[in-house]
Amino acid sequence: MSTSTLPDRPAVTDEAPTRFLRPRSRRPRRGRRDRKSAALTIAMALMLAYTLLPLVWLMFGATKSNEGLFSSRGLWFADDFALFDNIHDVFTYDDGIYLRWFANNLLYSVVGAGGAALIATLGGYALAKFDFVGRRLMFALVVGAISIPGTALAVPTYLLFSDVGIVNTPWAVILPSLASPFGLYLMRVYAADAVPDAMLEAARMDGAGELRIFFTISLRLLMPGFVTVLLFALVATWNNYFLPLIVLNDPNWFPLTVGLNRWNGLANGGSVAGDTPIYPLLLTGSLLAIVPLVVAFLFLQRFWQSGLSAGGVKQ
């Protein structure tokens, strides 16, 4: 009987190979992380400069007279501080037409943005909490409508309103502002998690109607999302330009965007009214036009932040 010889096994020693005992260097990984952080910081700084530099230039320009505007540096004050004189000229130029434009902007924004937020809240709540025929198709149409730019609908809207007879009236600006597909989509996603189904069932068992449930229970829970949609609609309506330019002909119904563009045309043509140059009026009027949006964001910021995050997290 033959016996096979097994190969000798390597002796086990207490000494481990040096390649296992050598500590790993973390310097290259940390270096890559530092380079990535520096790149992100530079990109954020460029975006911040791109956003704030025009605003800073506008703030300095609004403090200058017509002579100081062309003889001083763009990002610094001129020898003469003419901010208050410019504000006075803005409010009194052309019989105070700027105040009329400002009031029109408030009308279009408050009615249009408020109505858009309310309609989006009602529609999103219905799509999230009610089961009816065609719900998925309707939601798909809403999502598809988000991809359609508003400028593509401006001319068809004008033709439709011309047949109805509401061109050159405030309704031609307010009615399109009531439609907010993105707001409806956002409220549908938010309402699906913000309003518990058990709470709705308990209210129905107590005999409450659907409208009473919505306005007394659901609307309070949906308030952060409502304010979020309101802010988005407010910015879109306040900065609306192309649609009012098409549907409005009377300067008394112009919003600030169209009115300031009219002043810009006068400035490029070198027009003046008596001793009042147009360029300081244009810059000061543009600066005053952004003040309401800044104030709205400062007062509603806490609702806006919570509304953006609460709807995207499932309990």
Domain boundary among 47, 69, 92: 92
- pLDDT, position 27: 52
Domain assignment of residue 25, yes or no:
no
Query: Are residue 134 and residue 69 in the same domain, yes or no?
Result: no
Total domains, the chain: 2
Q: Counting beta carbons within 10 angstroms of the beta carbon of residue 102, is it exposed (0 to 12), middle (13 to 18) or buried (19 or more)?
A: buried
DSSP secondary structure, 75-121, as one string: TS--SS--HHHHHHHHHHTTTTHHHHHHHHHHHHHHHHHHHHHHHHH
Q: Which H or E element spans position 50?
A: helix 27-61
| Residue 264 sits in the same domain as residue 292 | yes
Secondary structure (3-state) at 273: strand
- Position 13 scores a pLDDT of 53
Q: Is residue 20 part of a domain?
A: no
Instruction: Give the structural domain span for 54.
Output: 33-92
| Same-domain status, 108 and 51 | no
Q: What is the DSSP letter of 216?
A: I
**7 within a domain of the structure (yes/no):** no
Is there a single domain that holds both residue 160 and residue 84?
no
Residue 315, domain member (yes or no): no
Same domain, 87 and 71: yes
pTM of the shown model: 0.79
Region for 95 from its dihedrals, namely left if φ exceeds 0, alpha if ψ lies in -120 to 50, beta otherwise: left
Q: Indicate whether 56 and 109 sit together in one domain.
A: no
Same domain, 104 and 87: no
**Quick one: 145 and 199 in the same domain?**
yes
HSE-CB for 270 with a 13 A CA cutoff: 0
Q: Is there a domain that residue 281 lies in? A: yes
Residue 99 sits in the same domain as residue 84: no
Asked whether residue 140 falls in the same domain as residue 279, the answer is yes
Start-end of H helices in 147-274: 154-164, 171-177, 181-194, 197-205, 210-213, 219-221, 223-238, 242-247, 256-268
Taking only the tens of pLDDT, the chain with its 315 residues reads: 445 455 555 555 555 455 545 555 555 566 677 888 888 999 999 999 998 998 999 999 899 988 888 888 888 888 888 899 999 999 999 889 999 999 999 999 999 999 999 999 999 999 999 988 888 898 898 888 888 888 888 889 999 999 999 999 999 999 999 999 999 999 999 999 889 999 999 999 988 899 999 999 999 899 988 998 999 999 999 999 999 999 999 999 999 999 999 988 877 655 555 456 788 999 999 999 999 998 888 888 776 655 444 444 444
Task: Tell me: do 138 and 267 sit in the same domain.
Answer: yes
Contact 205, 144 (CB under 8 A): no
As a whole number of angstroms, the distance between CA 234 and CA 312 comes to 22
What confidence score (pLDDT) does residue 59 get?
92
Closest by Cα among 37, 61, 104 to 259: 104
- Pair (303, 192) in one structural domain: yes
Residue 26 counted as domain residue: no
In-domain check, residue 242: yes
Q: Which CATH number goes with the domain that contains 169?
A: 1.10.3720.10
What lies within 8 Å, CB to CB, of 88 at 6+ separation is: none
